[in-house]
Structure 1
Amino acid sequence: MKNNTEEWVQTKAHGRVLEIILNRPPANAINRAMSRAIYAALRELQDNPDYSVGIIRGTGERIFCAGWDLKETAGEGGIDLDLENDPVHGHGPGGFAGITEFHDLTKPVIAAVNGAAVGGGFEIVLACDVVLMADHAFFSLPEMQRGILPDGGAVQKLPHMIPPNVAKEMFLTGRVMDAAEATRWGLVHKAVPVADLETQAMNMAQEIAKGAPLALQALKEVLGYMDGLTVKQSMAQVKPGGDADCPIYQKMITSQDAIEGITAFAQKRDPVWKGK
């Protein structure tokens, strides 16, 4: 099954997995229209109960995403803040690349990084939940050399994901982080030969999709909710009977799927999820 959300963003359904493919040659650079198209694909993932997991990858073996389409912006005479933030003609409700500000996206997304992820392309990766990377691929944040900052998620997230001094060096120098280093810092789950990347990403997505739909979404919800809380606060609030503002988690606790999962374990059979 194949459904073109837009020419630049293609989607393919694989059972409970929705594959989202960036297809704007030569570099998959992100302009406002592409941001909105990526958001539309992710919105389909979020809203369609048939899907549990998403994968984002680029076409080919050279570039995952080169980030913000600076040539288009330069051709427009610079950054027009009103246009960038316009709800209809700007990047849309998901923010840059359709994902960096899609805060209510509760279904897990795997980044399958098939090549260079530069600037905003790296920020797409940072917005995903699990990252697999081709062993020849790399990350970089060259915004300092463009007179701007990587404020679509990198400056906000990266210092909390790797040692802050390493993140700061990347911001200041724009230098390349290869797959081996990214794996060492824990940014990447695994680096694999590019020929194996799609298969391994799909295998992981299918494995994740075996989980109960509500529980998969509840996990992202509670992790987001606990961000900034102390362990003591998290333990007090995120528990059955706790007062966490996590409606999916609260629904999950007393769901039919929770009963089914326990019953299936006791009966030594695979669970049959209903998503409710």
Structure 2
Amino acid sequence: MARVSVEVENHIARVTLTRGDKMNALDPAMLEAIAEAGESLMDRDDVRVVVLSGEGASFCAGLDVMSFGAMAGKDPVELLEPRTHGNANLFQQVPLVWRKLPMPVICAVQGVAYGGGLQIALGADVRFAAPGTKFSIMEMKWGIVPDMGGMALLPHLTRSDVIRRLTYTAAPFEAAQALEWGLVSEIAEDPLAAALALAEEIAGKSPSAIRAAKALIGFAEDNMHDPDAVLLEESKVQAQLMGKPHQMEVIAANLQKRPAKFS
């Protein structure tokens, strides 16, 4: 059965988890499908922004319990340590592919985002959540640690004491608390509508500048203890944008008070 759908229209790719009857829980087929969906967009020059969502009552309830039982019989070293997707294994690629994409990713979350579901959402650039949405770093409930890229993503979003508390307890928390902790960007009555509205706004900006901005932000996050490197990268990126066709079209559109049109 299909686990993920990808639709591209007006330069926006809508990626939807389509296992709504199972709260979009992550079984092996779902993991493969999510990673493949993200990777299929990597070289799509026509896509300027991605909206990631889950059908049904919940965004993603985390790992499918039945799948967990099946994986428990495998050698964990052979299952987890090989780098099958660049710097990641499959489990890590499922959230990290959204951070690796060259275009921004906006995630709409409702119902629950537990365990792997939360880590998938954290891979997005921006997260809208419905009021009352429940989150959890759930892994400690099963006697394991977060292992789907969460430890590469969380330190950029919230404080160390928050990460430790949520990891040690596996306690659920709601959208309002997630917003306070920086794990949600905004609470919206209709998070998908909010995500699509932001996507339309971003899609109207210079495609080359948006991609350059995402790459530059990522570089700054990865080199926060080396400001000299960040400053130099900032200058290099700017030099590559100035005077080029996309920037010249932005200038012309602003002067003529019209929407920019990019080839």
Q: Do the structures match in fold with TM over 0.5?
A: yes
Q: TM-score range by the shorter chain?
A: 0.7 to 0.9
**Most deviating of 228-237 and 94-103:** 94-103
Q: Does 1:199 align with 2:180?
A: no
* C-alpha contact 2:223 2:230 (8 A) present in aligned 1: no
Distance 1:176 1:76, change over 3 A: closer
Q: CA deviation at 1:94?
A: 7.5
Q: What does residue 216 of structure 2 align with? A: 222
Change (3 A) 1:164 1:51: same
Distance 1:8 1:84 in 2: 22
For residue 173 of structure 1, report the CA deviation from its aligned partner. Answer: 0.4
Root-mean-square deviation (CA, aligned residues, Å) is 2.6
Contact 1:29 1:67 in 2 (8 A): yes
| Residue 165 (1) aligns with residue 161 (2) | yes
Return the letter of the residue paired with 2:145: L
2:257 to 254, 265, 268: 268
Does residue 155 (structure 1) correspond to residue 144 (structure 2)? The answer is no
Aligned to 2:205: 211
Q: Of 118, 121, 146, which aligns to 1:122?
A: 118
- C-alpha separation between the residues in 2 aligned to 1:167 and 1:148? 15
The answer to whether the 8 A contact 2:60-2:112 is kept is: yes
Q: Tell me if structure 1 keeps the 8 A contact 2:12–2:49.
A: yes
Distance 1:77 1:174, change over 3 A: closer
The structure 2 residue matched to 1:75, chosen from 46, 54, 70, is 70
Aligned to 2:106, the other structure's residue is in SS state strand
Q: Deviations over 1:142-194 (max 9, x none)?
A: 2112121002122333233212111110000011121111112232222122x
TM-score (norm 2): 0.86
Distance 2:244 2:7 in 1: 30
2:85 maps to 1:96: no
Q: How many residues align?
A: 258
Shift of 1:107: 0.9
Which structure has the highest helix share of the two? 2
Structure 1, unaligned stretches of length 5 or more? 1-5
Amino acid aligned to 1:128: A
Contact 1:94 1:100 in 2 (8 A): no
Using the TM superposition, give the Cα deviation of residue 83 of structure 1 relative to its aligned residue in structure 2, in angstroms: 4.5
Q: 1:65 aligns with which of 60, 66, 77?
A: 60
Closer, same or farther: CA 77–161 of 1 in aligned 2, 3 Å: closer
Whole-angstrom distance in 1 between the partners of 2:63 and 2:243: 44
CA contact (8 A) 2:111 2:132 kept: yes
Percent identity between the two aligned chains: 31
Letter in structure 2 aligned against 1:260: E
| Runs of 5+ unmatched residues, structure 2 | none
**SS, match of residue 46 in structure 1:** coil
